[in-house]
Copies of this chain bind each other. A is one copy, B any other.
Amino acid sequence: MGKQDTEMLKGVLEGVVLAVLSARPAYGYEITADLRERGFSDLAEGTIYAILVRIEQRGLVDVEKVASEKGPPRKVFTLNDDGRAQLAEFWTTWTLLADRLESLREGGE
């Protein structure tokens, strides 16, 4: 995929991660695998971890360390109230943009 794809993800990926976490708590490696299955195939692992650090620092998630049978302990992230508010705002912004683009495509004069 070209870099056009990559650039289009900016400002979107964070919302995507929040959306995944709204369904259930999860840890970084799991989220990466999940999103790759959902079509974000070229997603870099480091990218997800960077986002998780960011949303943790902004207090949008609660964090818990859970031992794993295979590999180092997992950092399990759970969406909190602030995170849910942020997610709602994300969907609002996204919808607005999508609507504007759609009307542009239809040659709306």
Contact = CB atoms under 8 A, between A and B. Distances in A.
Given A10-B10, A11-B9, A98-B98, A4 B104 contact: no
A94 B101 contact: yes
15 contacts: A4-B11, A5-B11, A6-B11, A7-B10, A8-B11, A9-B97, A12-B97, A12-B101, A16-B101, A23-B107, A38-B100, A38-B104, A39-B100, A91-B105, A94-B101
A49 interface: no
Contacts of A104: 16, 19-20, 38
Interface of A: 4-12, 16, 19-20, 23, 38-40, 89-91, 93-94, 96-98, 100-101, 103-105, 107-109
